[in-house]
C-alpha cells in the first residue's frame, strides 16, 4: 500500500480518493476550496452521486482518507483538477493543471510518481505539466515518474465504473508507465492497457468521446431528415441497427456533461485538422435552435407563450448540470435574438411593438443548484403552452398525463428523449412531438 495525495475533490477526485483509501492506501484529499474542505471534514459530501456519501464516509471513518487544504508529501500525486472550456476560443484552460503542478513541486521527491487524470489536450502531460514539475530540479522519467491515466466514468455509476472500466495509462517513459500501472492494479478489476507515451493516452480518451459525439450528431441529423419525411426517426434508427455492422446512437436535445461537448474541441486544440468533428459539434449544439423551430411551428409563434422545460441535468437521474442541453435551450429562448424589433413600417411610421420572448419555467427533481430558478412540477407547468422534456429522469417517464393536462393551458409536449408513452398522452388530448 502507498501514500497518495489527490489534487482536486470534484466529480472524479473525491470518488478516486475514497476508492484508493477503501482499498488500503493512506490518502490525503486536497482541494483549494475552503468550502469543499470544510464540508467534507464535517461529513457533508458535496456531490450528488449514488452511493458516494457512504463510500466517502467509510474511507474517512477508517482513517485512510484525510481531507486537507494543504498539499503533503506522498509516494503518488494524482491530479484530478478541472480543465475549463473557453467557449469563444474553443480551447482548454490549463491553469488548474499548472497550479497543481506548482503545488506539488515543493513536495516532490526522488522516486515519487505524478499522474494526471484530468481530461486535457494531447501533449499536456509532456509539454505543460512536465516543465512545471521539473522546476523542482528533478527530471521526469529519471528522478520521478510522470504519467497520464484518463478517467472514463459515467455520473450515476461512478464507483462501479472506477473499478470495472478498463484503464489507459501512458507515461513519459516505460518506467513511468509501470509505476502508474502498479498503483491502479490495486483496485481496477478490468484490463489496464498501456500506450507508447502520455500523449497517446490523452488522445485515446478524447477520441472515445469524440466518436460518441459524432455518432449522436448523425442521429440528430437523421431525426431532422425524418421530420421532413414524416417518419419516426427512432423506429428507423432501431431497424437500421438490426444490421450487425450498424450502431447509430439516439437523437436528442444536444449533448451535455464535461466530456462530449468539450473533448472534441480539446482534440483539435493543437491542430488545424478538425473538419467532420467540428461539423458534428455544430449539429449537436444546434439542436436547441431546432427545438425552438418546432415550438414556433407548433404554437404558431412564440410571442407571449410559456414554455416549461423539464430537465436541467445533462443526463437522467443525476443532478449534474454541466453543459446542460435544457439550460442551453432556456437561454436561447430568452436571448435578445428572440426579442428583436421588427423593421420600421414602409411609410416611415413608428416601429411595430417588439416581439416578447416566451416565459420559461424550469423543473428538475435531481438538481439542487440554488442559483437556478427551479419550480415544483405543478408550478412549472401551470398555465404552460408547451412542455419540453430534455432529460430522461425516471420521474418524467412516470408523470401522470391527466394531472399535467389539468395544470397546463396548452397541449403540446416536445419529448426530446422519447420517454413518454405517446398513446397515453395522446389519449389525454396532448400533441406529442418527438425527436
Q: Is the pLDDT score of 240 beyond 80? A: yes
Q: Is the same domain home to 62 and 195?
A: yes
Is 216 within the bounds of a domain? Answer: no
Sign of the CA dihedral running 31, 35, 38, 44: negative
Using DSSP's 3-state secondary structure scheme, residue 27 falls into: strand
Is 83 within the bounds of a domain? Answer: yes
Q: Is the same domain home to 148 and 57?
A: yes
Nearest to 192 by CA among 169, 158, 215: 169
Nearest to 313 by CA among 358, 362, 356: 362
Is 268 within the bounds of a domain? Answer: no
Q: Which of 177, 205, 233 is where one domain is finished? A: 205
Q: Is the pLDDT score of 346 beyond 60? A: no
Q: Is the same domain home to 181 and 35?
A: yes
Is 274 within the bounds of a domain? Answer: no
Sign of the CA dihedral running 417, 422, 426, 431: positive
* Domains held by the chain: number: 2
C-alpha cell at 147: 504519467
C-alpha cell at 81: 483538477
Is 408 within the bounds of a domain? Answer: yes
Q: Which of 172, 205, 238 is where one domain is finished? A: 205
315 included as an active-site residue: no
Using DSSP's 3-state secondary structure scheme, residue 434 falls into: strand
Sign of the CA dihedral running 84, 86, 417, 310: positive
DSSP secondary structure letter of residue 343: P
Is 263 within the bounds of a domain? Answer: no
Q: What is the per-residue pLDDT for 356?
A: 73
Q: Is the pLDDT score of 351 beyond 90? A: no
CB 100 within 8 A of CB 79: yes
- Residue 334 sits in which domain range? 286-340+353-434
Distance CA(152)–CA(249), nearest Å, equals: 19
Distance CA(287)–CA(176), nearest Å, equals: 43
Q: What is the per-residue pLDDT for 43?
A: 87
Q: Is the same domain home to 180 and 303?
A: no
Nearest to 147 by CA among 121, 185, 175, 166: 175
Q: Is the same domain home to 305 and 161?
A: no
Average pLDDT across the chain, whole number: 94
Give mean pLDDT, residues 117-134. Answer: 98
Q: Is the same domain home to 297 and 176?
A: no
Give mean pLDDT, residues 281-288. Answer: 97
CB 113 within 8 A of CB 87: no
Q: Is the same domain home to 174 and 319?
A: no
What is the distance of C-alpha 91 from the center of its chain?
16
Q: Is the same domain home to 295 and 425?
A: yes
Q: Is the same domain home to 104 and 195?
A: yes
Structure confidence by residue, pLDDT tens digits, 57-107: 999 999 999 999 999 999 999 999 999 999 889 999 999 999 999 999 999
205 included as an active-site residue: yes
Tell me how far CA of residue 360 lies from CA of 105, 340, 349, 379, 380, in angstroms.
Answer: 49, 18, 33, 12, 9
Q: Is the same domain home to 194 and 294?
A: no
Q: Is the pLDDT score of 419 beyond 80? A: yes
Residue 11's CATH number: 3.40.50.720
Is 346 within the bounds of a domain? Answer: no
C-alpha cell at 196: 507508447
Give mean pLDDT, residues 396-411. Answer: 96
Catalytic residue among 149, 259, 315, 417: 259
pTM (2 d.p.): 0.90
Catalytic residue among 5, 149, 205, 315: 205
Distance CA(70)–CA(81), nearest Å, equals: 15
Q: What is the per-residue pLDDT for 155?
A: 83
Nearest to 16 by CA among 108, 74, 78: 78
Q: What is the per-residue pLDDT for 8?
A: 98
Is 229 within the bounds of a domain? Answer: no
Give mean pLDDT, residues 413-430. Answer: 96
Q: What is the per-residue pLDDT for 339?
A: 53
Distance CA(56)–CA(35), nearest Å, equals: 17
Q: Is the pLDDT score of 294 beyond 50? A: yes
Q: Is the same domain home to 119 and 28?
A: yes
Distance CA(156)–CA(154), nearest Å, equals: 6
Q: What is the per-residue pLDDT for 343?
A: 42
Of all residues in the chain, the percent with pLDDT exceeding 70 is: 95
Q: Which of 205, 230, 257 is where one domain is finished? A: 205
The model's confidence at residue 345, banded by pLDDT at 50, 70 and 90, is very low
Q: Is the same domain home to 67 and 168?
A: yes
Neighbours of 304 (CB within 10 A): 11
Q: What is the per-residue pLDDT for 337?
A: 60
Nearest to 251 by CA among 239, 263, 264, 238: 238
Amino acid at each position: 500500500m502507498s501514500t497518495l495525495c489527490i489534487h482536486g475533490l470534484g466529480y472524479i477526485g473525491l470518488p478516486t480518493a475514497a476508492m484508493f483509501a477503501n482499498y488500503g492506501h493512506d490518502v490525503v484529499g486536497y482541494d483549494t476550496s475552503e468550502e469543499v474542505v470544510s464540508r467534507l471534514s464535517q461529513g457533508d459530501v458535496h456531490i450528488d452521486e449514488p452511493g458516494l456519501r457512504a463510500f466517502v464516509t467509510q474511507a474517512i471513518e477508517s482513517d485512510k482518507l484525510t481531507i486537507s487544504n494543504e498539499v503533503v508529501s506522498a509516494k503518488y500525486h494524482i491530479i484530478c483538477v478541472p480543465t475549463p472550456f473557453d467557449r469563444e476560443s474553443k480551447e482548454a484552460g490549463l491553469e488548474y493543471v499548472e497550479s497543481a503542478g506548482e503545488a506539488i513541486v515543493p513536495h516532490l521527491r526522488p522516486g515519487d510518481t505524478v499522474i494526471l487524470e484530468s481530461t486535457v489536450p494531447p501533449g499536456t502531460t509532456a509539454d505543460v505539466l512536465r516543465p512545471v514539475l521539473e522546476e523542482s530540479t528533478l527530471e521526469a522519467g529519471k528522478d520521478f515518474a510522470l504519467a497520464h491515466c484518463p478517467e472514463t466514468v459515467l455520473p450515476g455509476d461512478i464507483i462501479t465504473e472506477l473499478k470495472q472500466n478498463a484503464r489507459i495509462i501512458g507515461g513519459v517513459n516505460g518506467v513511468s508507465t509501470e509505476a502508474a500501472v502498479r498503483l491502479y492494479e490495486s483496485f481496477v478489476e478490468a484490463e489496464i492497457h498501456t500506450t507508447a507515451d502520455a500523449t497517446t493516452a490523452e488522445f485515446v480518451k478524447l477520441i472515445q468521446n469524440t466518436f460518441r459525439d459524432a455518432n449522436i450528431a448523425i442521429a440528430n441529423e437523421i431525426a431532422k431528415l425524418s421530420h421532413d419525411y414524416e417518419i419516426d426517426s427512432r423506429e428507423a434508427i432501431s431497424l437500421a441497427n438490426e444490421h450487425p455492422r450498424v450502431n447509430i446512437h439516439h437523437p436528442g436535445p444536444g449533448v451535455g456533461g464535461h466530456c462530449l461537448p468539450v473533448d472534441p474541441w480539446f482534440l483539435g486544440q493543437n491542430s488545424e485538422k478538425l473538419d467532420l468533428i467540428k461539423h458534428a459539434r455544430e449539429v449537436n449544439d444546434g439542436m436547441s435552435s431546432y427545438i425552438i423551430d418546432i415550438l414556433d411551428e407548433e404554437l404558431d409563434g412564440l410571442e407571449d407563450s410559456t414554455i416549461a422545460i423539464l430537465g436541467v441535468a445533462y443526463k437522467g437521474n443525476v443532478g449534474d448540470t454541466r453543459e446542460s442541453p435544457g439550460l442551453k435551450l432556456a437561454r436561447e429562448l430568452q436571448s435578445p435574438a428572440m426579442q428583436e424589433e421588427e423593421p420600421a413600417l414602409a411609410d416611415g411610421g413608428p416601429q411595430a411593438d417588439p416581439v416578447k420572448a416566451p416565459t420559461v419555467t424550469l423543473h428538475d427533481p435531481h438538481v439542487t443548484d440554488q442559483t437556478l430558478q427551479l419550480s415544483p412540477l405543478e408550478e412549472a407547468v401551470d398555465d404552460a403552452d408547451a412542455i419540453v422534456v430534455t432529460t430522461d429522469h425516471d420521474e418524467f417517464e412516470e408523470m401522470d398525463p391527466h394531472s399535467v393536462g389539468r395544470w397546463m393551458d396548452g397541449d403540446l409536449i416536445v419529448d426530446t428523449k422519447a420517454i413518454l408513452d405517446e398513446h397515453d398522452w395522446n389519449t389525454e388530448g396532448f400533441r406529442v412531438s418527438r425527436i
